[in-house]
Structure 1
Amino acid sequence: MGIYGQDWASYQSDEPGLTGLDFVFTKITEGLGYTNPKWVRQRDHVKRHGLVWGAYHYPHMGNDPESEAGFFLDQVAWQPGDILVLDWEGYDKANAGVSKARQRTYKEAWLRYVKGRMPGHRVGMYCNVDYWKNVDTTGYCGDFLWIATAG
């Protein structure tokens, strides 16, 4: 039996369906300048229904990981039990020219920085199987790893 969750972003409604879910990770930030305008309402919806809630950051891995992590952390008044997550993937234009070595360096630096600033919170990452098997070489994922699949 698995634990089922979803990642939500601004393209979803303020209150997506929760049937069958154990947790939801809501996109808060991307890069150094984007903040999801729906994240507060999405978070409140999840918490109102008693599910585990986490927030995630989508990186632009050519940037400084600590600057991006700081931007992410500064957007939220964190509460006990909130989970902090790196959405580690680089299939978009923002990450197209970033080497695998740089992506690994970014991942480790971001996770360690966030855990250092937020030691009372679980800090982890999610990615798909391809990224975990073909980009990662260290196995470091913070406190946890969520292998995301569609469906």
Structure 2
Amino acid sequence: MLHGVDVSAYQTSFDTDGLDFVLIKATEGRSYVNPRLKDQTARAREAGCVVGFYHFLWPGDVSDQAEYFVGEAPARAGDLLAVDWEQTGEGTRASNEDKDRFIRAVKGLRPGHRVLLYCNRHFWLNHDTTSYAGDGLWIADYGTRGRPRIEAPWRIHQYTDDPLDRDVADFPSREAMREWAGA
């Protein structure tokens, strides 16, 4: 298993010692860009980590959100891309159809890049009706490091958010993850 973290603007700094990958929030909706995106990306790349970017999906305007995300997220061969599908601050969520269309749109806009679905166990088991996760599932299920309580195959497991979001990836080596990602 590989070790990584996922970060957003809330993390003013993070330690890269012992990390194999870093997933960075790039965008949300059609107007938000992580103000620390550039610095966080540079820090992860300098540490030699596999780097990924994610978009927090809001209901509606899926094509516009996909174009916005792809326009703002750095584009280097081997970078992972993901959609963060969960309840918004307004208590709503994008539909299954929106989630699936967003993944397909990003795959069309960035051919050659792996696109993952991030969601928590509750969403996967109680809201997902299509089981479509693009190129892989990134599942949040706390307290079960490397053993999420789902039946579906997964690529990345977020197992805690204390003191920050920590993840493991189901790859034998960083090189294997890079190869899978298309680097």
Instruction: Report whether the alignment pairs 1:6 with 2:5.
Output: yes
The number of aligned residues is 143
- Give structure 2 stretches of 5+ with no counterpart: 141-158, 162-183
**1:76-97: CA deviations, max 9, x gaps?**
340101111101111521xx24
1:103 equivalent among 92, 95, 105? 95
Show the counterpart of 1:67: 64
Aligned partner letter, 2:160: A
Show the counterpart of 1:113: 105
TM-score by length of 2: 0.73
Moved over 4 A (4+): none
CA separation of 1:53 and 1:124: change in aligned 2, threshold 3 A: same
1:89 equivalent among 78, 86, 90? 86
2:115 equivalent among 107, 123, 126? 123
User: In proportion to residue count, which structure has more strand?
Assistant: 2
CA distance in 2, matches of 1:9, 1:58: 11
SS of 2:160's partner is: coil
Q: CA deviation at 1:138?
A: 1.1
Aligned partner letter, 1:132: W
Show the counterpart of 1:35: 33
CA RMSD of superposed structures (Å) = 1.5
Is the Cα–Cα contact under 8 Å of residues 9 and 35 in structure 2 kept in the other structure?
yes
CA distance in 1, matches of 2:134, 2:52: 14
Percent identity over the alignment? 39
Aligned partner letter, 1:9: S
